[in-house]
Structure 1
């Protein structure tokens, strides 16, 4: 079997064809350098619960589901996004081939029914083809959205009834039970080990949102668990349960794959009255038992995504005031990428509100900005013109996801490539390189530079006429390697 072509590449490559020459810029003393690429996390949540974003309804054939997802990813890419946060575990079910839990009914219409393909594997592959990160989104403790739902025999509410609490209409896995926490972490780690995801994401559901009884919150029914395992007052014990879950999950993700980011999207107000003057109808610290400030201060997350769904001029919930508070509490300098309520664009909230919020985040973030749209449907379907507005303003240029300096990683080596003329353009052959997530291709024609983000496993790429080619690798932790640069001479 002949040796691969890339084994014989010299340190630099000159390709000649007729009157056309490609030179490494260093060989001719050129000073052409590609422009620096913007860094910003630009994501959208893709909710599968109730078929909010995808698939459009349960029971579609796999081909139609895949077609819808491809259209969503294509539009996300063309809109300027670089990441998708896909809900893969809405309620102790799975939108992937789980080793623990049954297939989600939001795929087939019936829990446990195989959809005929692996949606998460498909989503990862198709996202990476388009230069998009894929973050797998889990609901850790919600077992069912309604206790009346039909569930399969394999569902946790049947196999471990002792773990389940009914709370209002919900069925809930008891966070106070260490076996529950361990099980939930194993479910997530199964995905981390078997799928090439870029992040693990959980939202704001820890202990459930209060269920009103006679206009008063109904207590979560964990008295038996507290009597058996609790110490001191119940509220601090509940917070400690959630703290332990967050800490252990982060630790185990980093043990398995250090480059996989872990993010949490808590309620956007840590506590009512903080910062001063903030009003809130919910105390996430006191009722969901989520001390999200502590997790950020301890460095138990790679990114925090507080749901800042209020407008800029809101008096009791000021978007910039809340954003600045979260930034001030970010002592470990983790990524702070707020969630923004793109779905609320309408007559009372014009599209330019979202544009302004993104600009405010950029100004306040000092180097590694980011945000996520709730949710994909509103952006993808250009609700009240918001997608087109963002594309021609704040998303004019593509961006790479910011690196995470606290995660150890190495820059990719300079790539080994071979460039040959093909038609009116060129073909680039690429030698494989480990730990490259994406290839960064920058080309210059006249005064204009163009950027393409290519999948890290591709073997070749084709480009049109160009004067300069710059090619570099982007590592799993977001570090960009040194580019090889070629100048075309006619």
Structure 2
């Protein structure tokens, strides 16, 4: 595995590494939390998850509880083999076994989404006519898995079978990392469009000011959206690269002189910083439009650095400026509604005053004028075995903090910390914070007029199970949300809509099942009317 937290010199390379700012260590990482808007289906009210915070299921009664709602996701990084595959020399069966292990752990702890890195460095973990197979997958760029299979298709199918969403995560502009060991393939952008790729320190970077670079990213995303049944498109914080230092200690400027001069010669009148921000703005806006034109239900999410514009920061907050250094005008994207969820990287402890978790969370909520979702990224991988390790309580308390601020979701970076169950974090999240499943909050602004048809329930001859028959819109249904009432409580579960059998067998702990209620959940998270059956 890549020594992710060991080498300070590499921290600025990857989206979840550490950035230093003054005396304080700032972490450049992933997504954020919580919007107060609560989507409601026409027939039955759905509220932002509240019952998930209780340690006991709702007590029995004829009034059906609301479907618990919360986005609970984890990033799975392929760059440098951080999460998957664990090595570059694994066979196809070994890769599949790791996928199954990751998804099983995610489902067992009641997560509901995987954010999978499908494009780590202008390459692909799936068959592509546009970019080469990733070196991190097979050990050689351009080399397919052997025996051959389509990893992304396998991820999608296996995630959906477990009732998990699969969001495809693209790095927008990174072309090559220092961890690359083999030569670039013939169809890598550094060879097909060399003028669009710049050397920056020991990185190769697609220049956001070059039309070919932006078009390549758009073409790659469109191709995946068209060919795969993904639930979300996700991009990270690497627009312009994190600055590296020149010999004199100053930031080394990104070498985009050619594109800048062409802009000036064409009559452009923005200053260079604003021009760079406009390049990034055009990409974000175009991805948002393109994704929803191809498939209206797919969510588009962005995971920027967690600190916003310097001129808007709350009192007491300081640190690295993505607005000035990465040319990311995140506040503009929110105000324009160019995304469906924002996952600011809130990778600091609650008590770190200059980057206070709760203050920054509140800041992003305040910027959310279009009422999209704010789902923060939590730095769960800071739980390790080093002297600087966070205690598990830090992440558990951050989950509570998001919920206390009316948040509706969060993401963990990254899966390896949960796979390894560092300091029992996976078990504690399952036992203390994710005590029952939750459905991802709905996105009624995406294909919002389409509601699933109410399912039909048939009691099987053995009287111990129910068969669910969906309506005519089978392809638009993702999940079945299931309530079972006993004499003591309501029990909630979720299963893939492809699994149409529901057991009615009780346990000594729960008692006999007296009633079942089933709700179809559409691709946009909207709910059908409720089908109910009662039993003596």
TM-score (norm 1): 0.89
Offset of residue 272 of structure 1? 4.4
3-state SS of paired residue (2:101): helix
- Correspondence list, 1:171-320, <5 A: 171-214=204-247, 215-230=249-264, 231-232=268-269, 233-272=271-310, 274-280=313-319, 282-320=320-358
Choose the corresponding residue for 2:410, options 371, 374, 394: 371
Instruction: Provide the rounded CA distance (Å) in 2 between the counterparts of 1:240 and 1:288.
Output: 12
Offset of residue 432 of structure 1? 5.5
2:166 alignment partner in structure 1: 134
- Correspondence list, 1:390-469, <5 A: 390-409=429-448, 410-422=450-462, 425-431=464-470, 433-434=472-473, 435-465=476-506, 466-469=513-516
2:363 alignment partner in structure 1: 325
Unmatched 5+ residue regions in structure 2? 1-59, 507-512
3-state SS of paired residue (1:294): helix
CA gap 1:158/1:463 in 2 versus in 1, 3 angstroms: farther
C-alpha contact (below 8 Å) 1:272/1:278 kept by paired residues: no
1:90-118 alpha-carbon deviations (Å, 9 max, x no partner): 00111112231111111111111111111
Choose the corresponding residue for 2:198, options 132, 150, 165: 165
3-state SS of paired residue (1:38): coil
Choose the corresponding residue for 1:65, options 67, 84, 95: 95
Offset of residue 425 of structure 1? 2.2
CA gap 1:148/1:271 in 2 versus in 1, 3 angstroms: farther
Instruction: Provide the rounded CA distance (Å) in 1 between the counterparts of 2:334 and 2:226.
Output: 25
3-state SS of paired residue (2:65): coil
Choose the corresponding residue for 2:155, options 99, 104, 123: 123
Instruction: Provide the rounded CA distance (Å) in 2 between the counterparts of 1:149 and 1:209.
Output: 24
Instruction: Provide the rounded CA distance (Å) in 2 between the counterparts of 1:381 and 1:427.
Output: 37
2:67 alignment partner in structure 1: 37
Residue correspondences, number = 456
Give the number of the structure whose alpha-carbon radius of gyration is greater.
1
Instruction: Provide the rounded CA distance (Å) in 2 between the counterparts of 1:97 and 1:432.
Output: 34
C-alpha contact (below 8 Å) 2:457/2:466 kept by paired residues: no
CA gap 1:431/1:313 in 2 versus in 1, 3 angstroms: closer
Choose the corresponding residue for 2:381, options 320, 324, 343: 343
1:484 alignment partner in structure 2: 531
- The structure whose residues are more often strand, as a share, is 1
Q: Decide which moves more: 142-151 or 38-47.
A: 142-151
1:14 alignment partner in structure 2: none
Structure 2 residue 475 is the aligned partner of structure 1 residue 475: no
Offset of residue 277 of structure 1? 1.9
C-alpha contact (below 8 Å) 2:168/2:232 kept by paired residues: yes
CA gap 1:469/1:72 in 2 versus in 1, 3 angstroms: same
Give the alignment's Cα RMSD to 1 decimal: 1.8
3-state SS of paired residue (1:86): strand
1:132-178 alpha-carbon deviations (Å, 9 max, x no partner): 11100000111111377422112111111121111111111111112
Structure 2 residue 85 is the aligned partner of structure 1 residue 55: yes
C-alpha contact (below 8 Å) 1:436/1:476 kept by paired residues: yes
Offset of residue 80 of structure 1? 1.8
Q: Decide which moves more: 173-182 or 126-135.
A: 173-182
2:29 alignment partner in structure 1: none
- Correspondence list, 1:384-395, <5 A: 384-395=423-434
CA gap 1:326/1:429 in 2 versus in 1, 3 angstroms: closer
C-alpha contact (below 8 Å) 2:193/2:212 kept by paired residues: no
Instruction: Provide the rounded CA distance (Å) in 2 between the counterparts of 1:461 and 1:228.
Output: 63
C-alpha contact (below 8 Å) 1:130/1:453 kept by paired residues: no
C-alpha contact (below 8 Å) 1:432/1:459 kept by paired residues: no
1:359-396 alpha-carbon deviations (Å, 9 max, x no partner): 1111213xx51100011111232111212222222211
Offset of residue 37 of structure 1? 2.1
C-alpha contact (below 8 Å) 1:306/1:339 kept by paired residues: yes
C-alpha contact (below 8 Å) 2:454/2:471 kept by paired residues: no
3-state SS of paired residue (1:421): coil
C-alpha contact (below 8 Å) 2:309/2:329 kept by paired residues: no
3-state SS of paired residue (2:529): coil
Instruction: Provide the rounded CA distance (Å) in 2 between the counterparts of 1:431 and 1:342.
Output: 38
